[in-house]
Structure 1
Amino acid sequence: MAAARAGVPERGELPKYFQVKQKIDAVLDELGQGTPLPTEREFAERFGVSRMTVRQAIRELRLEGRVQRSGRSTVAAGPKLVQPLILASYTEGLRRQGRRPGRELVVFEQLAADEALAAGLRVEPGAPVFHLERLLFADDERVGLESTYLSAARFPALATDFDPRTSLYAYLRGLGVVLADADERIETVLASPREVQLVGTSPALPMLLLNRVTRDRDGLPVEHVRSLYRGDRFSFTAHLTAEES
């Protein structure tokens, strides 16, 4: 068990690329955020391995968010953004971490709700629904893509009164809407070609997909949100309590 906890299989030795990965990880601890890594050739000579072995090690470190591409260089990445799983906006969550949130509008349209969306928002199939799609930024870095659906009948002035660069939750509070609870599902996915282009990530990079239906204090659905976050830049936390038996 001790060997397994250290990353060593119960039988056999650590793969060579994994040993190199651990050594590069130690180098990263000494580098500041945004500092370019030594080249693959330099790492290969330092550790006495092939460049292919170094490349595999760096590929895994990138998937884990320890390094990232910057132009033609691979640089040390900063710490992941930590979002608590609470009923709060993306804007509020980033500001708590001293980061600067940002949003860029991609799509703002009115469409007819299909059966699944209608069921989630408790409207009739075909009812008008606003779809708001926005890129998410943290300190000018693209980190996610968010699609929000709301009933057009309930929020008819959304298209004219809401600034999509700002917090939707703050806008809803201004209308007197009190958010009370939500159901949220989290899974890992690969981004579609369109999402890869918008977020500016690699098609091989795992993404965190969150689907949320938020309700007000009367139990009425307010929004259905599909949020896609870069797996190398985000982690989520939750406070758990014991269920009474």
Structure 2
Amino acid sequence: MNRVPPHRADRPVRAGIPEHGRVPRYYAVKAELFDLVENLGEGTVLPSERELAERFSVSRVTLRQAVSELVLEGKLIRRQGSGTFVAPPKLVQPLSLVSYTEGMRRQGVEPTRTVITIEEISADEGLSRDLMLEPGDPVVHLERVLLADDERIGLESTYLSLRRFPDLLEKLDPGGSLYACLTERLGVRFAEAEERVETVLATPREALLIGTNPALPMLLLHRVSYDVDGHPIERARSLYRGDRFSFVARLHADR
């Protein structure tokens, strides 16, 4: 067995460079730049483009490509007129019945929301199937921008049956936790949820609301939540910035 240099378990094996060693020059620079970023620490401004190009013996065009990929991955952040900085760690939301509010506060982050839309709509075929309604039944649609310490990180659309929750809008603080309102004021008991996560690009409208680059990869979460009797409570579509957000789940073996 050939011995190879040790690698960190949270990093790509051999920094993602194949055994034959033939990779685009920008990628090799990216790997070196990532090591530099880790040593600089959160919030530190990156050295100038000229200095880095000389340090890695590459053209500025090659360096810019390496920096751009680290920006897309959330390792660096550009600030107009200020420079490029080492980004803070990504926020982590558990894939569980923990609310967005609770998940953020566990990390010492204050969650807030900006309301974009509160409206009554008629259930289409998909909504009626997911919420066990008849097509055309009234549904409350709540759309809100999600913030963490006043930084926009996501956009959430939630749909609930108006017949099941006729006084929802009277009891809900639109900028507060919907989960808390349902459990504490309306007596709902969450039991399980079905979730699907995929990567997408934001639409122009979504990018504008979240305040992000439309080319930035986003994490899209679809969820239908159920109560203890197996009845659906809500259907949610949550879009999160891929550079600032990640999900974690604890898995258990079947018994």
Q: Please classify the TM superposition score into its range, dividing by the shorter chain length.
A: over 0.9
Q: Percent identical across equivalent pairs?
A: 58
Q: Which residue of 2 aligns with 1:179?
A: 190
Structure 1 residue 39 corresponds to structure 2 residue 70: no
Cα shift readout 1:14-54 (whole Å, capped 9, x = no counterpart): 32112211222122123342332122222112211101111
After TM superposition, the score normalised by the length of structure 2 is: 0.91
Q: Which residue of 2 aligns with 1:226?
A: 237
Matched to 1:11, the amino acid is H
Query: What's the offset of the Cα at 1:83?
Result: 1.1
The one of 139, 164, 171 equivalent to 1:161 is 171
Q: Which residue of 2 aligns with 1:79?
A: 89
Q: Which residue of 1 aligns with 2:72?
A: 63
The one of 102, 105, 108 equivalent to 2:118 is 108
In the alignment, the residues of structure 2 paired with residue 32 and residue 65 of structure 1 have an alpha-carbon distance, to the nearest angstrom, of 14
After TM superposition, the score normalised by the length of structure 1 is: 0.95
Cα shift readout 1:102-123 (whole Å, capped 9, x = no counterpart): 1110111111111001110111
In the alignment, the residues of structure 2 paired with residue 195 and residue 42 of structure 1 have an alpha-carbon distance, to the nearest angstrom, of 36
Structure 1 residue 127 corresponds to structure 2 residue 137: yes
Q: Which runs of 5+ in 2 are unaligned?
A: 6-11
In the alignment, the residues of structure 1 paired with residue 35 and residue 19 of structure 2 have an alpha-carbon distance, to the nearest angstrom, of 24
Matched to 1:162, the amino acid is L
In the alignment, the residues of structure 2 paired with residue 36 and residue 130 of structure 1 have an alpha-carbon distance, to the nearest angstrom, of 45
Q: Which residue of 1 aligns with 2:215?
A: 204
The one of 21, 25, 40 equivalent to 2:30 is 21
In the alignment, the residues of structure 2 paired with residue 214 and residue 89 of structure 1 have an alpha-carbon distance, to the nearest angstrom, of 12
Q: Which residue of 2 aligns with 1:170?
A: 180
The one of 7, 10, 15 equivalent to 2:19 is 10
The one of 35, 38, 60 equivalent to 1:51 is 60
Runs of 4+ in structure 1 off by over 3 angstroms are: 1-4
In angstroms, what is the RMSD of aligned CA positions? 1.6
Number of residue pairs the alignment of both structures matches: 244
In the alignment, the residues of structure 2 paired with residue 36 and residue 147 of structure 1 have an alpha-carbon distance, to the nearest angstrom, of 36
Query: What's the offset of the Cα at 1:194?
Result: 0.4
Q: Which runs of 5+ in 1 are unaligned?
A: none
In the alignment, the residues of structure 2 paired with residue 27 and residue 16 of structure 1 have an alpha-carbon distance, to the nearest angstrom, of 17
In the alignment, the residues of structure 2 paired with residue 68 and residue 198 of structure 1 have an alpha-carbon distance, to the nearest angstrom, of 19
Structure 1 residue 189 corresponds to structure 2 residue 197: no
